[in-house]
Structure 1
Amino acid sequence: MESAKEMAHGQKPKWEGKACAELAGAKAEQVWPFLEDFFGLNKWFPTLHTCLPVEGVSGQPGCVRYCAGFKTPVNSGDDIINWTKQKLLSIDPTEMTFSYSIIDGNVGFNSYVSSVRVVPREDGCNIEWCYEVEPVEGWVLENLDTFIGSGLQVMAKRMEEAVSVGVATDISNN
């Protein structure tokens, strides 16, 4: 049911969620470069086979990536090739955070906006992924929570492994 505020402003209610992954032994400064590479999401997100630049420079606000090949909880058995175009809205390397929106696609995400942040911890770091989107036809919020949450867990594991074999550079050199 829509709130009075939403009805008065013609806004649809939005789903909101947050996923978090803990990375043990991987410093935030080691993990951030993986996420900062906006056109490199396919290296980390499970089942995402394609992530290509559409416009702009990776890591610069306004750049757009095309992502395809991922499966969602709704169509995991179908032969549909899911795709989205995602625009980087903001990025702050000092705070290790960025936000992006889905501007086109065939998965039914309208008004999707997400922010991703790396949070330093004494024994590693956390990756936090917050998102909001208008309700998606054929989905329930738990589908989106599962999709993003499980995807983030796989990303974190892959990033931990990359750090452990020296793919990332420790910029502090300590």
Structure 2
Amino acid sequence: MDGAPAAAWRGTVRAVASGPAPGAAWALLGDFFSLDRWVSTVRTCRRVEGDEVGRVRYCEGPVNMAAAPGEAAVVGWSKERLLEVDHAGRRYSYEVVESNKGFGRYRATMRVEDDPAGCAVAWSFEADPVEGWTQEGFVGFLEELARGVARRLEEEINVAKPDGV
């Protein structure tokens, strides 16, 4: 190898939530500090600095990859800065600024989209290769996270309006 940096990873994952209207989903997901409510692997999500664009959240939970047999689970954490928020467009962009999860450069946009079934949650990302992952494995992990967020939205919103009324 000539020491050239590996190509950046880019991709988008999308999961449909049956029932919730996009506006109702955004009312819940649009809070930059509520990730622990929607992503099962995030146990803590709190503000550490700033207001509006530029604010930083601290997220903590089990490391994305399973511990080896007999090994204690490691707590993973990251600090993430909000780069842009567009409430009308139901999206925000952020970057990882510090982490123990193997991230170098990582930028992502989370958005709520229209879908005939209700709405969809979509994450687009651009990242340097993540230590310990293949690109396919990383995308698969993000797809599972998006499906989990869609399920949580269905649970939260559809329960509030029984029978989809």
Tell me if the contact between 1:113 and 1:133 (Cα under 8 Å) persists in the aligned partners.
yes
Alignment of 1:10-159 (within 5 A): 13-57=7-51, 60-72=52-64, 74-77=65-68, 78-159=72-153
The amino acid of 2:155's aligned partner reads E
What is the CA-CA distance between 1:75 and the residue it aligns to?
A: 3.5
- What root-mean-square deviation, in Å, do the aligned CA atoms of Structure 1 and Structure 2 show? 2.1
Paired letter, 2:58: Y
CA deviation profile, 1:118-170 (whole Å, cap 9, x unmatched): 11124311111011110122211122112211011111101111001229xxx
1:76 positional shift: 4.6
Deviations along 1:69-115, one digit per CA (max 9) or x if unpaired, are 1331x345551110000011001011111100000010111110001
User: Letter of the aligned partner of 2:134 in structure 1?
Assistant: V
Distance in 1 between residues matched to 2:141 and 2:148, nearest whole Å: 11
Q: Is the 8 A contact 1:46 1:70 kept in 2?
A: no
Q: Shift of the alpha carbon at 1:17?
A: 1.7
How many residue pairs are counted as aligned between the two chains?
158
Contact (CA 8 Å) 2:41, 2:61: kept in 1 or not? Answer: yes
- Give 1:119's aligned amino acid: E
- Identify which of 144, 152, 157 aligns with 1:163: 157
8 Å CA contact retained: 1:83, 1:107:
yes
Q: Residue 21 and residue 75 in structure 1: after superposition, are their counterparts in 2 closer, same or farther (change >3 A)?
A: same
Partners of 1:144 and 1:50 lie apart in 2 by 21
Query: Identical aligned pairs, as a percentage?
Result: 34
TM-score if structure 1 supplies the norm length? Answer: 0.83
Which SS does the other structure have where 2:75 is aligned?
A: coil
Q: Secondary structure at the residue paired with 1:101? A: strand
Q: 1:76 to 1:142 in 2, by over 3 A?
A: farther
TM normalised by structure 2 equals 0.87
Alpha carbons 1:28, 1:119 under 8 Å: kept: yes
Note the residue ranges of structure 2 that are not aligned, 5 or more in a row.
none
